[in-house]
Amino acid sequence: MSKGNVLYNDDGTVNGTIEGTNVLSTGEAGGTKFLREDGDGTCSWQAPAGGGGLTGTSIKTIGTGGDYADVSAFLAANSSPYHGVLVSNVTEDSDIAVDGKFTLDLDRYVLTMGAFQFVYGGVDADVSIIGSGIGSGAEIDWTYTSAKRLFACFSVNSHMYFSGLEFDNNSTATSCYLFDNGNMRMSNCKFYIPNINQGGVLATSASDLAYIDNCEFVGGGTLVEQAIILDAGSQISNTVFSGTFKPAALNDEVLHIRTGAQANNIMFDVDSDIAVNITNDGQINGLSSDQGRGIYVNMKGTAGHLSNADLGAQSLNLSASDSDYCRISNVYSTGALIFGDIDASNNQFINCRFSTALTLSSDRNKFTNCDFIGGASVSSGADNNGFVNCQFGADAGAGALTLTIASGSNNTRVVGCMTDAAISDSGTGSTLSANIVY
């Protein structure tokens, strides 16, 4: 035998080194065994000591040629902890009852749920479903014709984790979203939302929390609104919205961040202007759009936060009567800041820029380092508002735009501001100091 050759029993030879990928498993299946040298000149496939799989749990194959035809059959025949891996595309023919610890590896295959659901199996569930990445073929799809959840009626102490897969919701009824109880974490996933209302992820109470990171949500038509509603400590970060959603209008929001929820670094790469709602102490930090689309932001309730947002040609609306104690910073808009003729008060704005003229009709609002390119006016009945280091009028100056303080307004404070033309003050108790016309 020459150097670099391997001699087979049939006297044939092959040049070079045999790689691990060239060693056949000769009928073994399940992905749980290892190749052992037996000490007698032979090797054999062996299960690890203890009879379990490589992870300590017996891994079962699901699909054509596997241990079980579908996931529901696999769970029905085994007990927790479960660990299954798809070896082909699988179509379920019944609900999947989950109890205990359940890990499902989709690999590169599709799990078709049709009209069926993952349902509560009587024990708190700890579900982990993973795939080989977006675009790999790993996918769960479902089609509901009435209001249902893919993961339904789990206990509040259940946990769900999804990574490296795509969700394809083909439902035709309103309120066919992902889950309704428990704690859900989703990372590196892509979610196709059908042309319905509430077809994405809703986590609207302390019993259903969602944590979404590095994902993409694709809108399926102009009826898509309330795609993501988060409340009570849920979070969404580093996420893109693409495709087609309902065009921007008051209360037709695509994303709604409610009491105690947070959104960070959200990008809209969509076909039209869209709307976002912030309610109570919901917080959004980092909001932008591509393709020149605008983002209409409606802030309602107490203590909402908006920062680092480019709204394009759309507006920021605080016209609800209870839009109080909101904090807005580093917001850019060629649209308007809308207050409306109601008492939205005690709001604070820092480093913001609005191109359309501001009409301020409420009390105790504070503006610092803000630009009002279209000028601004303080209406009669608007009291105790303040402007510090603000600009009223175009950057080039020498125009007619300014700040107008109407008769019937009280105690407006304007300090260190720049205006196209002299401030017009007909109010009572105004304080004007160190302002310049440029």
Name the residue type at position 63.
G
User: Taking a C-beta distance cutoff of 8 angstroms, is the pair 160, 179 a contact?
Assistant: yes
Mean pLDDT per block of 10 residues along the chain (438 residues) reads 47 53 59 64 60 58 97 95 97 95 97 96 93 97 97 89 98 95 95 97 87 98 96 95 93 93 97 95 95 92 95 90 90 89 83 94 95 95 96 82 96 97 97 95
pLDDT, position 397? 67
Contacts 24+ apart (CB under 8 A), 111-114: 111/71, 111/86, 111/139, 111/140, 111/141, 112/141, 112/142, 113/140, 113/141, 113/142, 113/150, 114/142, 114/143
Residues, the chain: 438
299-307 contacts: CB < 8 A, separation 24 or more? 299/323, 299/326, 299/328, 301/259, 302/326, 303/327, 304/278, 304/279, 304/280, 305/278, 305/281, 306/278, 306/331, 307/331
- HSE-CB at 405 with a 13 A cutoff on CA atoms is 22
Cα radius of gyration rounded to whole Å, the chain = 30
Dihedral of the alpha carbons of 102, 105, 109, 111, in degrees to the nearest 10: 10
State both tokens at 361.
Answer: 């009709």
**What does the pLDDT read at residue 34?**
63
User: Where in the chain are the domains?
Assistant: 61-246
- CA 112, distance to chain mean position in Å, is 23
Q: Quote the CA–CA distance of 246 and 321 in Å, as a whole number.
A: 25
Residue 32 pLDDT? 56
Q: How far apart are CA 179 and CA 288, in angstroms?
A: 28
CB count, 10 Å around CB of 86? 23
Reading the block at residue 118, the tokens are: 């993952």
Phi and psi at residue 207, to the nearest 5° = -90, -5
CA-nearest of 340, 307, 314 to 254 is 314
Neighbouring C-beta atoms of residue 178, cutoff 10 Å: 23
The per-residue pLDDT for 28 is 59
What CA–CA distance (Å, rounded) separates 177 from 200?
5
Question: Angle at CA 128, nearest 5°, toward 123 and 134?
Answer: 150
CA-wise closest residue to 351 among 306, 319, 312: 306
Whether residue 111 contacts residue 86, with contact meaning beta carbons closer than 8 Å, is answered with: yes
